[in-house]
Chain A
């Protein structure tokens, strides 16, 4: 360390340890050795370590031009030290011995000063996990040339067209997460993800179309198909007309379904329901578990092993995550229990469900349109915010492709709407369900196209 100068030098030490994998993402053995070093430094009653290691590459284009493009590699280590029931966490990205020791000592110092946490239940012992295969070298080892070529699948037709301007974004991540503690637990999961989204706008300023795709495997992304969809929607959405706000039959494409159904995730926490402050609390006490809350065709679950999800097989505590059904055939089957709340209420902890899936049906989007006398097709929703947590009423707007259906056919493009409505109302007014797909807006959401009646649009927007 004699050549060291100033704060940066400790990271020279990190490189000397040989802990850097070729692509910067820690392999299982590297993660094991890292957490063992941390645990070995600890003098706390209990210590847990969480490692996040990632390399992310991205490329943006807009206004038919290339924009920013880059790569970021980083590994962070979170150390939680516990004395009795006093605990605190410190996060560092300095993996030298000095840096790790500093994080361990700092977390111990703060933990000693922290008040007792009555909800601390001790560390989990070793668990067994059924591994989930989510790593694809095609994504992890993607070249900058491949990204630039992919961008041309949208830029070239837009530049050639004279009537279109495109903006797009592709982002690929290769990441690993590892958890460990001094009670013998070790968990490791690595995954890749490739996501591409594209907005095409018409140069007259009246049309906008969006399309996107996501997969763990870069090779599964059909860039040309995304360009076709976005461009087609942009052109079809030109010159929208204003129609009266009000209650309409609506066909939500999967992304729009995901935008609204995913807001139920927070309300599925047992604790807030038991405390009388969630949409699933019953007036006068208790929860709505066992009650039919949605249309009987609705089943909502979380499952990291679904090939459309490929999530981590453990949660942030290191508890194994199994498939959990929250709503089955319209009945609220169970709520999500943390370890503490499960113990308090005499229940089994469910683990935190990282994904959310709504079971698909057999109806096609074409048949939904064909069976609609007057209704609206929504591509996606934007800027959702809670208006009332007790009813899950949210507000937000339609965006990038909103169409009027008349007499079984898409009749024309309409201006965007603001809505004020709840997924709990929406999924009680269900008319049809199509196949569930992995959506591309983030959050591991697998959602179907759905048709609902009486959806509440409250005002018009001039936004294109």
Chain B
């Protein structure tokens, strides 16, 4: 199935396993069309001119605000906040001023149900006083506003000293006094007209509704643009421009009292722009998705038992996310999430690093914030660190954890033992200026196999199994042992061939047993990203957008349950 991300392929009625047809790659166009950040910077003169003179965005008709990033006024305010924090007694401080824009359009069948644009900005100041954290966020972007926030953050840190035990110490990180970064988008979705967005969704709905048993279709577009500005007392001043896009569509088929759904996650979200939405070609694919839902109405209910599973990247990414990526967050490992998201079975570090066997030698998992178009890809994290790529699992053995500057020193002993520098991997993130940053997920990606096997090769090699496509129901315990996953589409494999759709399928797993049962990996050309905007963690809970690259895999002899019940 290397056609998934490559050139279009004819849609054969006999091949149900072609979830998405993409238009030809625009990678070349991206290289040409990608504008450097410097060229986008708005001159201070323009900013001073006042909103009446700001440029009109031709196809939306309303006046755009100037970008915050590279704006000297923003820089001055950040430096003012840092000075105020130091004057109040902070030993270290950082500040973020950001603008967060969201655009969503939702439809059902022939109508638009919701159009919302959100545009907020503000400032968050984080300080250390005597090894205690304090944080304050304000929407008042003025010198008194950010200065007041800095003072309040210091006051909170001072108040907390009474309950302090250990001091917070940060791993050193180089300063980046004038850094910029821009994500891999070509067309800013916020410059695309509402008519075009609505037209695309309603056209896709109409295609899906051509399938006779499809009674309901919901579709939606969700876009985020973040202008992230960061400065810290180490001397870093960083501005970043980040866009992400998601198009969703769900088809509900109904007949004879049965209801079956395909979607809504039929296209994976990406750290790219409007061009990515067009590449997904939802109008052409909607009918296929509708047919898949319709076919599910008459699918056979699965027999419980053990099966070899062939998991498509659109399903597998969430299993990686839950069972390998969450338990390798160092804050979870050390108990910092015990009261909410949970801890980790990969603990304590000194008993598992370098020794815990999580799978066969073909299992290699890399944390990174560098894969182009992936959701957690960024130039600099919210500690001001330039992230690196790192092996979380190397040749099947646990090798490292996801870290921030606060956490990296906790693993000093391990890095020394391996002759590595003790540095943060750049996993600090806050969902907005209003929230304090903490350790969040980089892209955590399963490396493809050496042999360039395809989805079809994995199926052909399997005698009795189930092929699963698309995320559906998912649940895992607070230490990440016991999980249960469903899929949008499940196909029975007999003698190396797909013989029909199954329903009521879920697999139950114990993480180390599951990954040790891995015996086939797809190759490089079967590697795809799956992701979400809504990875939740922390108190107060924050959302993180993250992707997981992976090839399809085969996992042997996994317990499958039947989830069908009747009222």
Contacts and interface: CB of A to CB of B under 8 A. Distances in A.
A91 B104 CA distance: 12
Given A8-B142, A105-B62, A198-B339, A69 B72 contact: no
B132 interface: yes
Interface string A87-127: 11111111000100011011101110111011100000000
A89 B105 CA distance: 10
A263 interface: no
A61 interface: yes
Contact of B142 (A11, A65, A275): A11
B30 to A, nearest CB: 28
A197 B73 CA distance: 41
Nearest to B104: A89
A284 B257 contact: yes
A462 B345 contact: yes
A117 B113 contact: yes
A37 interface: no
B476 interface: yes
Contacts of B122: 74, 93
A68 B139 contact: no
Interface string A170-199: 010000000000000000000000000111
A283 B254 CA distance: 11
Contacts of B339: 60, 62, 167-169, 197-199, 210
Given A7-B99, A382-B478, A90 B117 contact: yes
B567 A461 contact: no
A7 B65 contact: yes
A233 to B, nearest CB: 13
A273 to B, nearest CB: 12
Contacts of A310: none
A388 interface: yes
A130 interface: no
Interface in A1-55: 1, 4-12, 14-15, 20
B111 A102 contact: no
Interface string A412-426: 000010101010110
A109 B561 CA distance: 52
B299 interface: no
Contacts of A265: none
B398 interface: no
A257 interface: no
Contacts of B436: 68, 70
A76 B120 contact: yes
A88 B197 CA distance: 14
B477 interface: yes
Interface string A354-388: 00000000000000000000000000001111111
Given A8-B74, A15-B145, A106-B117, A68 B163 contact: no
A113 B195 contact: yes
Interface in B68-123: 68, 71-74, 76-77, 97, 99, 102, 111-122
A110 B115 contact: yes
B545 to A, nearest CB: 19
Nearest to A200: B338
Interface in B38-68: 44, 47-48, 50-51, 60-63, 65-66, 68
A113 to B, nearest CB: 4
Contacts of B254: 276-277
Contact of A88 (B116, B334, B342): B116
A292 interface: no
Interface in B487-519: 504, 506, 508, 510
Contacts of A6: 44, 47-48, 66, 68, 71-74
Contact of A70 (B48, B134, B163, B504): B134
A10 B44 CA distance: 15
Given A118-B111, A275-B216, A395-B475, A15 B72 contact: no
B477 A69 contact: no
A1 B50 CA distance: 9
A380 B115 CA distance: 38
B26 interface: no
Interface in A131-180: 143-145, 147-149, 151-152, 155, 159, 165, 167-169, 171
A349 to B, nearest CB: 17
Contacts of B257: 283-284
Nearest to B202: A115
A115 to B, nearest CB: 5
In this complex, which of A12, A159, A388, A458 has the most chain B Cβ atoms within 10 angstroms of its Cβ?
A388
B413 interface: no
A73 interface: yes
Nearest to A24: B138
B194 interface: yes
Given A7-B47, A7-B66, A463-B481, A94 B508 contact: no
A397 B113 contact: no
Contact of A277 (B74, B195, B259): B259
Nearest to A205: B347
A5 B136 contact: no
A168 B340 CA distance: 9
B438 interface: yes
A62 B337 contact: yes
B142 A117 contact: no
A66 B132 contact: yes
A151 B156 CA distance: 13
B174 interface: no
B338 A199 contact: yes
A64 interface: yes
A4 B52 CA distance: 14
B160 interface: yes
Best-surrounded residue of A109, A117, A390, A395 (most CB of chain B within 10 A): A395
A387 B473 contact: yes
Contacts of B120: 74, 76, 91-94
Given A71-B136, A71-B152, A201-B335, A91 B111 contact: no
A91 B117 contact: yes
B324 interface: no
Contacts of B61: 109, 113
A85 to B, nearest CB: 10
A199 B343 CA distance: 11
Given A69-B156, A461-B482, A462-B345, A105 B135 contact: no
A387 B259 CA distance: 13
Nearest to A424: B567
Contacts of B345: 462-463
B298 interface: no
Contact of A393 (B216, B252, B563): B563
A68 B438 contact: yes
Contacts of A56: 540
Contacts of B115: 87-89, 110-111, 114
Contacts of A345: none
Contacts of B193: 113
6 contacts: A66-B164, A93-B122, A144-B160, A152-B163, A197-B340, A208-B338
Given A76-B118, A78-B116, A91-B117, 19 more contacts: A7-B74, A62-B336, A70-B153, A74-B434, A75-B139, A88-B116, A92-B120, A93-B139, A94-B119, A113-B194, A147-B160, A169-B339, A197-B340, A199-B339, A385-B473, A390-B259, A459-B484, A461-B477, A462-B345
Interface of A: 1, 4-12, 14-15, 20, 56, 58-76, 78, 87-94, 98, 102-103, 105-107, 109-111, 113-115, 117-119, 143-145, 147-149, 151-152, 155, 159, 165, 167-169, 171, 197-199, 201, 205, 208, 210, 275-277, 279, 283-284, 382-391, 393, 395-397, 399, 416, 418, 420, 422, 424-425, 458-464
State the 6 A-B residue pairs at the shortest beta-carbon distance, nearest first: A70-B135, A8-B141, A6-B73, A144-B159, A461-B482, A463-B479
